[in-house]
Amino acid sequence: MSKVIGGFVSLVILALITRSLGVFGFGQYATGIAYLSTFQILADLGLYSLLTKEISQKPEEEKELVGQFFTLRLIVAVFFMGLASVLVFLFPYSRELKLGIVFASSAFVLLSLSQLFMGVFQKYLQVYKAAIAELLGRAVQLGFVWFFFIVGGGLFHYLGAVIAGVFIIFTVDLVFVRGLVPFKLVFKNLNWRRIVKTTYPIAISIIFTLLYFKSDTLILSILKTQEDVGIYNVAYKVLEVLIFFPAAFFGLLLPLLSLYAKENKEKFSRLLSRLTELTFAVGLTAVVCGILLSYSIVNFIGGTDFLSSGLPLQILFIAVGIIFWATLLGNAVIALDLQKKAMWAYIAGFVFNFIANLIFIPRFSYIGASWTTVATELLVTVYLVWVIKKEQKFRVSFSVIARSALVALFVASFVFYATPSIQTPLGAGKFLAVFIGGLTIFAVFIYLFKLYKLLPKKLFTKVE
């Protein structure tokens, strides 16, 4: 429920900022966030995934492990945000945007540290504490954004709202984590060589995966106008909100996947098969209905100035369905210790994405970027399936796939007949009614077709 609320708040924040800054101003805001996110990605090092795995398998070393991982993440995050603040002056951005990026860089240091804490919350099955921190931070950010929207804020004001929200998230997360694991900073005995040696395959995979999520915006910001960036990023923000849900859900299951991969490969295979079927059931419905409602979604978020975002969002909804499954496969790769083999999928994905964007963005702008995202996700997902299949067999049930397709058909039929024209946006009231109606129909048929049984029974069982 907290993820639903958090996603809704994110969209409200987006709606206020787009209406306040307009297409050009929001393009600048999106460029700044994408630029800093790129350097935050470089600072990741795969520490979150490795910490989750190690404290699940070595509980007796938990305090020392958390201290070492936190210290290393702090050092690396400060370094990369400092580097980002220097290098931004080499980019062809306005002076206002460059200074705004320097101003907001501190928020991304704290955000990087907060993300590491999720591993501790997952082990203790207290993810609700991270949710509390997230909701408090979002509430603070929303409060500032609403105030600046009323008084007429600019780029710096909304970046300041980001800083305030992230500061609250980090502070609350830190208090909660230290209540579970009273770790300390470790400088003298920081075994960074062992950590980096172990984590570099994960780090490379994560870095290249997330870089191709951000490279399109950066290339657009350099080769096209800030208006193009703004139009594309309204659509892309919807994708980011949607794919956060499978990332959070499958992240919860990583300790269980790791345990089964180590102790019982048959259970691992069965769990992976069921989760694949569950992903198909949810993903197919999201893709079909999302395509039908794309213009209504962007109108609801950004207003009529951003209706051009409807077409790229329709394309990106195809990528959403693929990413749902790729997220599950990425966690399975970590559980099976196949990071070194899988990292080539992400490297290939980044190289393909970067080259394709350089080719297609100058000619097709954000439409080219959207189709490149779809092709990249498909390439990476196929490679991950190949890597996992060589190590661990898993299969899906045709009956489940057929029932899932029927669920998607029923929900899509309701949405289609409730929408007079795909390219004509619904009013806010009717859009919400159609959205709630679609969710209700989805829930009813998931129950009638017994697809809810695909949820693992041990989802809320503590992994010792």
3-state helix, strand, coil in the chain (%, to 5): 85, 0, 15
> What was the pLDDT predicted at 459?
55
Average pLDDT over residues 198-224: 78
Long-range CB pairs of 67-70 (<8 Å, 24+ gap) are 67/183, 67/184, 67/185, 67/186, 68/186, 68/189, 68/190, 68/191, 68/192, 68/195, 69/116, 69/195, 70/113, 70/116, 70/183, 70/185
Please indicate, yes or no, whether residues 237 and 176 belong to a single structural domain of this protein: no
| Residue whose token pair is 């705004």 | 100
> What was the pLDDT predicted at 368?
96
Question: Domain for residue 404, yes or no?
Answer: yes
Range of the domain at 416: 202-464
Question: Domain for residue 93, yes or no?
Answer: yes
Please indicate, yes or no, whether residues 330 and 258 belong to a single structural domain of this protein: yes
Q: Give CA separation, 375 vs 34, 74, 220, 350, 368, in Å.
A: 21, 35, 18, 11, 11
Average pLDDT over residues 64-92: 89
95 exposure class (CB count in 10 Å sphere: 0-12, 13-18, 19+): exposed
Please indicate, yes or no, whether residues 71 and 107 belong to a single structural domain of this protein: yes
Please indicate, yes or no, whether residues 298 and 439 belong to a single structural domain of this protein: yes
Please indicate, yes or no, whether residues 145 and 283 belong to a single structural domain of this protein: no
Average pLDDT, the chain: 87
Average pLDDT over residues 144-158: 95
Confidence class of residue 464 from pLDDT cuts 50, 70 and 90? very low
Q: Which of 23-27, 124-128, 288-292 has the lowest mean pLDDT?
A: 124-128
Question: Domain for residue 221, yes or no?
Answer: yes
Phi-psi region of 22 (alpha: psi -120 to 50; beta: other; left: phi over 0): left
pLDDT tens figures, 431-448: 889 999 999 999 998 888
Report the candidate in 196, 180, 170 with the shortest Cα–Cα distance to residue 76: 196
Please indicate, yes or no, whether residues 304 and 443 belong to a single structural domain of this protein: yes
pLDDT tens figures, 103-149: 999 999 999 999 888 878 877 778 889 889 999 999 999 999 999 99
Domain ends where: 157, 190, 223? 190
Q: Which residue has the higher pLDDT, 211 or 255?
A: 255
Please indicate, yes or no, whether residues 270 and 415 belong to a single structural domain of this protein: yes
Residues, the chain: 464
Question: Domain for residue 195, yes or no?
Answer: no
Distance CA 156, CA 167 (A): 16
Q: What is the dihedral of CA 300, 301, 303, 305, to 10 degrees?
A: -140
Percentage of residues in the chain with pLDDT exceeding 90?
47
Distance CA 4, CA 461 (A): 22
Please indicate, yes or no, whether residues 136 and 216 belong to a single structural domain of this protein: no
Quote the number of domains for the chain: 2
Please indicate, yes or no, whether residues 172 and 307 belong to a single structural domain of this protein: no
Q: Extract the tokens encoding 19.
A: 């209406």
Domain ends where: 166, 190, 214? 190
Question: Which H, E and C letters describe 418-451, residue by residue?
Answer: HCCCCCCCCCHHHHHHHHHHHHHHHHHHHHHCCH
> What was the pLDDT predicted at 411?
93
Report the candidate in 312, 114, 329, 347 with the shortest Cα–Cα distance to residue 210: 347
Please indicate, yes or no, whether residues 423 and 307 belong to a single structural domain of this protein: yes
| pLDDT greater than 70 at residue 461 | no
Domain ends where: 138, 158, 190? 190
Please indicate, yes or no, whether residues 103 and 227 belong to a single structural domain of this protein: no
Answer for the pair 100, 159: CB distance below 8 angstroms, yes or no.
Answer: yes
Question: Domain for residue 197, yes or no?
Answer: no
Question: Domain for residue 46, yes or no?
Answer: yes
Please indicate, yes or no, whether residues 44 and 122 belong to a single structural domain of this protein: yes
- pTM as predicted: 0.80
Question: Domain for residue 444, yes or no?
Answer: yes
| pLDDT greater than 50 at residue 463 | no
Average pLDDT over residues 145-160: 95
Question: Domain for residue 41, yes or no?
Answer: yes
